[in-house]
């Protein structure tokens, strides 16, 4: 795990900078658990993906349930809607990254998504919710975790299963 965090920190710090500007190389800043760093992002993925584990949720079964019955998703709270809309922007962000040769656009968006998830999770119960609300929130956690993981993997950053 330490190797994944250390190497990820260097890659993420480098890729999070606009390629046309200078920056100061600082291990201390790279390894911070707060802010737009690999360690924060890796922790965010572990936190999101840990929800299913704590709740004994079969994520594949959840995905099949949602695919079979899309009406089981009800984005009633504004935080749910903001998180869902942000997660669904991945393709557009990747188009911008490719068009402008700026991977820092991806790191910035991943950081934004992690922040939206944190606001969502801190304010709204997930495992204690019931019915559609529970299904919706679990599906949002699953989508967010998969999206964050995919974004980091596109940057060449491994995500440990636990942090």
pLDDT, position 28: 66
Contact 40, 33 (CB under 8 A): yes
The residue-averaged pLDDT of 104-128 equals 97
Of the candidates 153, 119, 121, which has an alpha carbon nearest to the alpha carbon of residue 48? 121
pLDDT at 162: 61
pLDDT at position 7: 77
Domain range 2-154, CATH class: mainly alpha
What's the whole-model pTM score? 0.87
Q: Mean pLDDT, the chain, as a whole number?
A: 89
- Which among 12, 54, 4 has a CA at the least distance from the CA of 37? 12
Q: Where along the chain do its domains lie?
A: 2-154
């Amino acid at each position: 795990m330490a190797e994944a965090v250390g190497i990820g920190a260097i890659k993420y710090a480098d890729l999070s900078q606009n390629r046309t500007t200078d920056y100061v190389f600082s291990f201390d800043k790279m390894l911070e658990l707060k802010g737009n760093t690999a360690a924060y992002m890796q922790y965010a993925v572990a936190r999101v993906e840990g929800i299913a584990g704590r709740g004994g949720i079969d994520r594949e079964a959840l995905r099949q349930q949602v695919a079979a019955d899309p009406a089981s998703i009800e984005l009633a709270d504004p935080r749910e809607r903001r998180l869902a809309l942000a997660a669904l922007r991945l393709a557009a962000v990747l188009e911008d990254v490719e068009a402008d040769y700026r991977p820092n656009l991806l790191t910035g968006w991943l950081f934004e998504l992690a922040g939206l998830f944190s606001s969502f999770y801190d304010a709204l119960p997930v495992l204690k919710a019931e019915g559609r609300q529970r299904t919706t929130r679990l599906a949002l956690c699953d989508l967010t975790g998969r999206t964050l993981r995919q974004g980091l993997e596109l940057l060449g950053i491994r995500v440990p299963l636990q942090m």
